[in-house]
């Protein structure tokens, strides 16, 4: 079978390049081979697609042409996670999982998100540097534990928080993430070996999740609105509820995917807001037009705040690639004929950096999302088709509320104004762990002082 040309580097070296310097690898490959090229990462061979035309064909063709593969995340999320399923099982799970993350159910979490952001920020000390990603990770993890599990205190909450953070950190750096990419390293040689330690942490997390599920089954509470409770009460078209393993795998998927990716996106947004004075000024002007900053429905609709979030996810999408699709029947995509067994992957990063669509694509310009609307095949930070991220609306909602809460209440500053370059963190593109900021002041106190000064000036004018 003749595949499109691609890098000539030996497969193992391509894998090393993809793990250690993913953006250089993608950009150089696209420069040499165009919008469609074949990559060979060790034993994994796939065709990467980067044009809107290819995305449209990939996402709109009958899904029966493809099977999915996501072996990279299988050790983490489990084989009953929706992202691992195809056909009827995938449709069933998606149908059951959609309601908690849309409409009134989602908006009910708005004040919870704002409160958690405020609580985490209150722990920071004036003028003392803090790691931006760690702070955003704390916020997003607490949001997910509260919204998904409905727990925000106690021993089980603390254990889950610590174990999940440790588990993700254990596969986050380019070196440690090799555990996910190289199956030869996935050998349990005891708790002191990297994979053995990973599995031990996973077993502890599983025990806590299954204990929570069992407790809910024994003591049902119809007043609870967290995602776990909603899923436990949901039934498919045949009246069948989700099994314990299905619940566990979906909960882990939410906690891992929703927590880590949103924390990364919020970290990038805070960087750009405070790295570019004109962006910070325009956002402040917009936030200052709101009389009640606690009105989450208004915050979610702010145009410039929304544009900042969109541009953040365009420039460095937390997921560089779409879910791999395996061709089940011969199909033509982007003028290439692909036979059964071919793996097709959309490259989100390359699509977001096309100069024919995004003028000056390397620059952070939120205005581009106010000037025009991009199609689902030009801008796709959450993937597309029947595999688009089910938590997209919730992630954007959380991102906007956290940014509005922080920027409207705190005056932050980057510790170092030097340009920050993305690094691999597991499967995502994140700011380096060393990126730090400081709390330089409290905006609500400054506004209060300004109002009092204005009132004194008015009184003085009256008496004169």
CA dist 438 and 412 (Å) reads: 6
pLDDT tens, residue by residue, 410-429: 999 999 989 999 988 877 88
pTM recorded for the entire structure: 0.89
Residues 6 or more apart in contact with residue 334 via CB below 8 angstroms:
35, 36, 49, 51, 53, 54, 57
pLDDT tens, residue by residue, 34-93: 999 999 998 889 999 999 999 999 998 877 788 776 666 667 777 777 777 777 887 888
CA dist 62 and 439 (Å) reads: 51
pLDDT tens, residue by residue, 344-399: 999 999 999 999 999 999 999 999 999 999 999 999 999 888 778 888 888 999 99
What tokens were used for 104? 């009134």
Please report, rounded to a whole number, the percentage of residues in the chain having pLDDT higher than 90: 45
Q: Give the CA-trace dihedral at 331, 334, 337, 339, to 10 degrees.
A: -50
Out of 1.10.357.10, 1.10.630.10, 1.10.274.50, 3.40.640.10, which CATH number does the structure's domain 11-463 have? 1.10.630.10
Backbone angles phi, psi at 101, to 5 degrees: -110, 20
CA dist 157 and 150 (Å) reads: 10
Least confident of 85-99, 165-179, 221-235, 403-417: 165-179
pLDDT tens, residue by residue, 133-148: 999 999 999 998 888 8
Burial class for 144, CB neighbours closer than 10 Å (0-12, 13-18, 19+): buried
Residue ranges covered by each domain of the chain: 11-463
Residue 211: pLDDT above 80? yes
What tokens were used for 17? 């390049």
Residues 6 or more apart in contact with residue 61 via CB below 8 angstroms:
331, 333
């Amino acid at each position: 079978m003749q595949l499109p040309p691609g890098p000539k580097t030996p497969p193992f070296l391509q894998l090393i390049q993809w793990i250690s310097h993913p953006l250089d690898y993608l950009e150089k490959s696209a420069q040499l081979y165009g919008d469609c090229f074949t990559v060979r990462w060790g034993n994994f061979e796939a065709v990467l697609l980067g044009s809107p035309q290819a995305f449209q064909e990939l996402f709109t063709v009958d899904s029966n042409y493809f099977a999915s593969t996501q072996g990279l995340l299988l050790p983490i999320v489990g084989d009953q996670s929706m992202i691992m399923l195809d056909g009827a099982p995938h449709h069933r799970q998606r149908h059951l999982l959609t309601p908690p993350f849309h409409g009134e159910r989602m908006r009910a979490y708005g004040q919870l998100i704002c409160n958690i952001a405020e609580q985490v920020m209150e722990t920071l000390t004036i003028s003392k540097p803090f790691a931006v990603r760690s702070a955003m990770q704390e916020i997003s993890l607490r949001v997910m534990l509260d919204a998904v599990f409905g727990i925000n205190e106690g021993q089980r909450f603390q254990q889950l928080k610590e174990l999940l953070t440790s588990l993700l950190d254990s596969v986050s750096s380019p070196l440690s993430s090799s555990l996910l990419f190289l199956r030869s390293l996935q050998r349990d040689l005891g708790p002191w070996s990297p994979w053995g330690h990973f599995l031990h942490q996973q077993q502890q997390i599983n025990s806590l999740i299954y204990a929570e599920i069992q407790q809910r089954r024994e003591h049902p509470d119809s007043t609870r609105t967290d995602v776990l409770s909603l899923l436990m009460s949901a039934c498919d078209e045949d009246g069948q509820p989700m099994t314990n393993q299905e619940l566990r795998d979906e909960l882990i998927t939410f906690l891992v995917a929703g927590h880590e990716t949103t924390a990364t996106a919020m970290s990038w947004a805070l960087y750009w807001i405070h790295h570019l004075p004109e962006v910070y000024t325009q956002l402040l002007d917009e936030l200052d037009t709101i009389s009640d900053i606690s009105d989450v429905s208004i915050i979610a609709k702010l145009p410039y705040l929304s544009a900042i979030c969109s541009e953040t996810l365009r420039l460095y999408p937390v997921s560089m690639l779409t879910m791999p699709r395996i061709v089940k029947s011969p199909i033509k995509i982007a003028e290439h004929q692909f036979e059964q067994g071919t793996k097709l992957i959309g490259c989100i990063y390359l699509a977001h950096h096309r100069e024919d669509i995004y003028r000056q694509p390397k620059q952070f310009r939120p205005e581009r999302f106010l000037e025009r609307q991009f199609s689902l095949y030009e801008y796709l930070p959450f993937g597309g088709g029947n595999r688009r991220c089910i938590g997209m609306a919730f992630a954007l909602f959380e991102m906007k509320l956290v940014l509005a809460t922080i920027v409207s209440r705190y005056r932050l500053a980057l510790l170092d104004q030097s340009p920050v370059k993305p690094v691999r963190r597991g499967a995502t593109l994140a700011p380096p762990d060393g990126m730090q900021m400081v709390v330089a002041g409290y905006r609500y106190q400054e506004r209060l002082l300004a109002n009092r000064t204005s009132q004194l000036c008015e009184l003085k004018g009256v008496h004169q």
